[in-house]
Structures are given as structure tokens and as C-alpha cells.
DNA sequence: TATTGTTATACTCTATAACTATA
DNA sequence: TATAGTTATAGAGTATAACAATA
């Protein structure tokens, strides 16, 4: 072990923040918009209030955001036959396509960055990946902040 | 090696995005505002145009941002005796204090998250840290996007 | 003229408050 | 009444265009 616990924390924080460049690829979609689309793709159709809570925004904000995304053809509105008040949002093919493009773009940038590393570095990152995933999980649980940009 | 190259990229991208929760701790300062303050603390007093270019925003945007930060008592304006056009921005003690608080907050959250991990996981992350720093560097170089939130 | 910075104006995104419609 | 969602209005943050001051 080459670092004290305090140095590990500081260095790790710095690295995590610098890695954040990967998360801000385009301006074509706000952070919340991207997270909302990704959530629907991951979990299936969802109600407006549900999305507002999940993304940590108010109901009116989600209402206008969803209206924008529907206008842009990325989301589709549906109703609940059981309850005429509710609005159910689902991804359109165009929405799914946009998410796929964003993921491909990120994968490209990451692939290029990894190509600059030595095999030993790549291997150490590979080895640490499950641990990093568990760290991310622990971080997410202890945090009240908004969702990640998928 | 337990993953193919493609799986490494996808898994790594997902982990990096999830770790992003660490970077969005508070709403009291915009991303650009935080990055600007951190840059001045790191590199010393800077001119307005210099900051605008460094943070990837326009000069008028930096002008209004800086006016806000001066109003909030986080930055102090000075002039250049050699050139009456230039404005030089420096951190106030309150600005330095705010940055310190943000860093301490992040360190706390990260420390708590690390405490949830096994010693073996923490050790693997420690081992991968230099490699991750080089990865972040490579990512940042290949990217035109704005700066990281310090 | 070129450079440094500000002001005017507009757009996006989000919030709070007030409202409509259904349960 | 309570719940699901929308509309009205305001504020933060950013951009482009036009401007003022200094070199």
C-alpha cells in the first residue's frame, strides 16, 4: 500500500472528478433529460410523478421537461385506463436511438483513452472494476443528490 | 483478465458515470463557478479572458459569472497597473473557505463509502489509482468539453 | 485598429404558486 | 378532500450582438 488512508481519499476524489469529463459529452440533452430517458429505457414506462421523484426535480419541472421531450419525438405519452389522471411516459424508437448514440460516443472516447494506457495500467483498472462498482454503489446510497447522466 | 475489451469499456463507462454522484454535492455554486474558483486557487490570480477560455465559456458569460462571485464575496477584482483594461480576479478568504468546505464534504462522503468496502476492494482501488489518473488525463486531452467541478 | 471587458437581449432550464381535472 | 398533472411567473445561467475604454 503506497498511500495513507487520507491520501487515498484525496487522490481518489481528484481522479473521480477528472473522470467526470466522460459524463458531459453533448449539450443536445440536459443532464436530467438524459437521465430520464435512460431511466425509462432501463425500467420501462413510468408516470410523471414517479420520474420527478426519481430524478430529484419538482413535478412541474418534470412536466415541462417531458413536454419538451415529447415535442422532440423522444418520448411518447400514454394514459392509464384505470385512472384518467395519470400520464405514462415511454421511449420512442428515436429516443432509444439517441441514447444508443450517446453510449457509443462515450465508448469511443473511452476506448481511445484506454488505448493510450499501458497494458499493465489497463489490467489494473480491469482488476479494480468490481471494487469501483461497489464504491459507486456505496456513494450513491449515501447521497441525496440528483441522478447520474446515462 | 475476466472481461473482453468491449465489456471493459462498457462496464468502466457505467462505473465512471455512477461515480459522478460525488461531483454534484451542492447547488450553491454552478459547475463553472466552482471550477473557476478552484482554478484561481490552484494557479493564482487570473484575468477574465483567461478564465473564460480555460472554462470554455464566452467572455460575457465569464463577465457576469465573475460579477456574481464578487457580489457573493468569493472573488475580489483587481487591476493591472501595466494595462488599465485588464481585470484580475483573486480568491477571497471566504472563497477559499467555501472550496475547503466542499472538498471536506466530498472527502467525508468518499471516506464513508470506502468504509463499506472490504480491505481487498480498497486495496485494488488503491493499486489502480495511478492508472486511473492516467486514464482521466487521456480522457481530458481527447475531450473538448468544459472543466471538471473542483 | 486590435484588445479587454461590459451591457442589452434572448433562450433554456428549473423553481414556487395557483390552477384544472379526476378520484 | 386528496391526488395527478398543467399553467403562470420568476430567477439562474449561458449565448450572441453591440458597445465603451484602453493599447
- Residue B141's SS3 state is helix
- Is A36 a residue whose pLDDT tops 70? yes
Bigger pLDDT: A49 or B25?
A: A49
Distance CA A111, CA A105 (A): 10
Q: Which nucleotide is nearest to A50 (CA to C1')?
A: D4
pLDDT at B27: 66
Domains, chain A, ordered by start:
28-114 (1.10.10.10)
Question: From CA B128, how far away is CA A117, in angstroms rounded?
Answer: 12
- Give the single-character DSSP code of B73: T
Chain B's closest residue to A114, CA to CA, is B135
Mean pLDDT, residues A106-130 taken together:
95
- Residues B32/B57, Cβ–Cβ less than 8 Å: yes
CA distance B95 to B23: 18
Footprint of strand C on the protein (CB under 7 A): A 29-33, 56-58, 60-61, 64-65, 68, 83-85; B 47-50, 59-60, 63-64, 66-67, 83, 85-88
Q: Cα dihedral sign for B135, B138, B141, B145?
A: negative
- B27: nearest CA in chain A? A145
Conformation bin of residue B80: beta by default, left when phi > 0, alpha when psi is -120 to 50: beta
Q: How far is A110 from chain B (nearest CA, A)?
A: 7
DSSP secondary structure code for residue B57 in this structure: -
Cβ under 8 Å to A: B residues 96-135:
103, 106-107, 109-114, 116-117, 120-135
pLDDT reading at A81 higher than 50 = yes
pTM (2 d.p.): 0.85
Q: Mean pLDDT throughout A46-68?
A: 96
pLDDT at A94 over 50: yes
How far apart CA B23 and CA A13 sit, in angstroms, is 9
**pLDDT one-digit tens code per residue, B66-115:** 999 999 999 999 999 999 999 999 999 999 999 999 999 899 999 999 99
Contact partners, residue B106, CB within 8 Å, separation at least 6:
A13, B22, B25
The three grid cell numbers given for residue B95, joined into one nine-digit string: 472563497
Give the pLDDT of residue B111.
94
Q: Do B12 and A134 touch (CB under 8 A)?
A: no
- What are A131-141's pLDDT values in tens digits? 999 999 998 88
How many other C-beta atoms are found inside a 10 Å radius of the C-beta of residue B28?
Answer: 11
Amino acid at each position: 500500500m503506497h498511500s495513507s488512508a487520507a491520501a487515498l481519499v484525496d487522490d481518489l476524489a481528484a481522479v473521480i472528478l477528472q473522470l467526470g469529463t466522460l459524463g458531459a459529452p453533448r449539450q443536445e440533452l440536459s443532464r436530467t433529460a438524459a437521465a430520464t430517458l435512460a431511466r425509462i429505457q432501463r425500467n420501462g414506462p413510468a408516470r410523471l410523478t414517479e420520474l420527478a421523484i426519481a430524478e430529484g426535480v419538482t413535478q412541474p419541472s418534470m412536466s415541462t421537461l417531458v413536454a419538451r421531450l415529447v415535442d422532440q419525438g423522444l418520448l411518447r405519452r400514454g394514459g392509464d385506463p384505470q385512472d384518467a389522471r395519470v400520464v405514462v411516459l415511454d421511449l420512442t424508437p428515436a429516443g432509444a436511438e439517441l441514447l444508443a448514440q450517446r453510449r457509443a460516443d462515450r465508448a469511443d472516447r473511452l476506448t481511445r483513452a484506454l488505448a493510450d494506457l499501458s497494458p499493465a495500467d489497463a489490467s489494473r483498472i480491469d482488476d479494480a472494476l468490481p471494487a469501483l462498482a461497489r464504491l459507486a454503489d456505496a456513494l450513491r446510497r449515501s447521497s441525496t443528490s440528483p441522478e447520474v447522466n446515462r
